[in-house]
Amino acid sequence: MPLRALARVNLAAIERNVSRLVSRLAPGAGLCAVVKGDGYGHGAARAAGAALAGGARSLAVATADEAAELREAGLEAPLLLMGAVSAQELPVALSAGAELVAWSERFVTDLAAAADGRVRVHVKLDTGMGRLGTRSRAAALVVAERVAASPALELAGAMTHFATADEDPEFLRAQLERFRPFAAELRRRPGVRAHAANSAATLREPATHFDMVRCGIAIYGADPMHDDPAAWGLEPALELTSYVAAVKRALPGDSAGYGRRFIAERETWIATLPIGYADGIRRALSGNCDVLIAGRRHPLAGTVSMDNITVDLGPETTVQEGEPATLIGAQGGVRQTAEELARRIGTINYEVLCGISRRVPRAYHHDGQAG
């Protein structure tokens, strides 16, 4: 019996995506698997385990709680906490043994005071993202000096983050040129590694690889360029499914769903699937998305509710109650990608995947084998 809503994650696909990415890296560069946002909706700990099996050397998250969760799951790989860390979060981050990112002298002072043992620190230069990091190379070098001078801290990395790796190669190169002298300066110290590339930069521009790349979206088999993951040899790891809970006839004039946004113009059959926006099927997809049932695309009819969607099966259908339905993934020869859903509602695959809510159970397998 199919489940109400289910995200099936193929860990073997994550492993293969990582090993394909690793095979493209410039000599000497390693891959850090980014598993923030609960592994982009795939489940952080399981995704991390698969990424390490595929050849990732380290992991990265955005928050202290995410770091703690990975340690609780028994993952011992080097772990970079990329986000800003507040005074409240600092003890959690430190007890997880996370490597931290610094860009102000003030943070380095607080960190040195709180550190119990040697904490590895990466210094961030803002070369154009305009979020975290200092824009001043001189200021970032002073921060790095402070880290290196503190017995409680260890200078581990020089980093930056690209704003346009997926869309504007010229700005990417400008950021890269701003980063180079900073990276060169810090790399003169033993053990310091430079890193800058996200998935898009990793795929597009080998000159961004330095000593490490930080790949998120691509390890899950989604396309950082928002189009077709297959074009980069990436395999989507996640499938989102539901099932047909009811099939009923609609006569011309009958409606389906809130607000009567769908009204049958002809006699047709309507399927109801018990999955909705509380599961992450965004309401903006109302009347603007397909569902794969019995190896065919069928249009979503009417409004997405919190717990249900309705699908127009057409005037003649063999679809029965109980049949599986796919929202993200493939059935027979047809597929619907996270990229396609994203395009339909003006967002990106990242948000579609991260938006699959906690209410949806995750089931893990290796190419169909349980586990």
Ligand X SMILES: *Cc1c(COP(=O)(O)O)cnc(C)c1O
Whichever of 198 and 336 has its CB closer to ligand X, that residue is 198
Segments of 11-111 assigned E as strands? 30-34, 58-61, 79-81, 99-102
The single residue of 36, 40, 277, 350 carrying the catalytic annotation is: 36
Q: How far is CA 284 from the centre of its chain?
A: 21
Active-site annotation holds for 277: no
Q: Are 233 and 218 in contact (CB under 8 A)?
A: no
Q: In this structure, what token pair is assigned to residue 223?
A: 């396309």
CA triple 125-131-137, angle to 5 deg: 20
Output the smallest distance, CB 225 to ligand X, in A.
Answer: 10
Q: Could you give the CA distance from residue 44 to residue 25 in angstroms, rounded to a whole number? A: 24
217 touches ligand X (CB under 6 A): yes
56 touches ligand X (CB under 6 A): no
Torsion angle, CA of 225/327/43/217, rounded to 10 degrees?
Answer: 0
Output the smallest distance, CB 159 to ligand X, in A.
Answer: 7
214 touches ligand X (CB under 6 A): yes
Phi (first) and psi of residue 226, to 5 degrees: 70, 15
Which window, 178-186, 210-218, 320-328, 330-338, contacts ligand X (CB under 6 A)?
Answer: 210-218
Of the candidate residues 43, 133, 216, 276, the single one contacting ligand X (CB under 6 A): 216
- Reduced to 3 states (helix: H, G, I; strand: E, B; else coil), residue 307 is coil
Which window, 136-144, 209-217, 291-299, 340-348, contacts ligand X (CB under 6 A)?
Answer: 209-217
Whichever of 230 and 334 has its CB closer to ligand X, that residue is 230
Whichever of 13 and 218 has its CB closer to ligand X, that residue is 218
Active-site annotation holds for 258: yes
Which window, 211-219, 270-278, 319-327, 339-347, contacts ligand X (CB under 6 A)?
Answer: 211-219
221 touches ligand X (CB under 6 A): no
180-199 residues near ligand X, rule: CB under 6 A? 198-199
Output the smallest distance, CB 80 to ligand X, in A.
Answer: 9
Give the residue among 141, 202, 186, 132 at the shortest CA–CA distance from 160.
132
17 touches ligand X (CB under 6 A): no
CA distances from 301 to 76, 119, 257, 280, 336 (A): 47, 54, 8, 17, 17
161 touches ligand X (CB under 6 A): yes
Output the smallest distance, CB 21 to ligand X, in A.
Answer: 10
Q: Could you give the CA distance from residue 341 to residue 345 in angstroms, rounded to a whole number? A: 7
DSSP 128: S
224 touches ligand X (CB under 6 A): yes
Total of residues contacting ligand X (CB under 6 A): 13
Q: Is the dihedral of CA 323, 345, 349, 37 positive or negative?
A: negative
Point out which residues bind ligand X (CB under 6 A).
Answer: 34, 36, 82, 161, 198-200, 214-218, 224
> Which residues does the annotation mark as catalytic?
36, 258
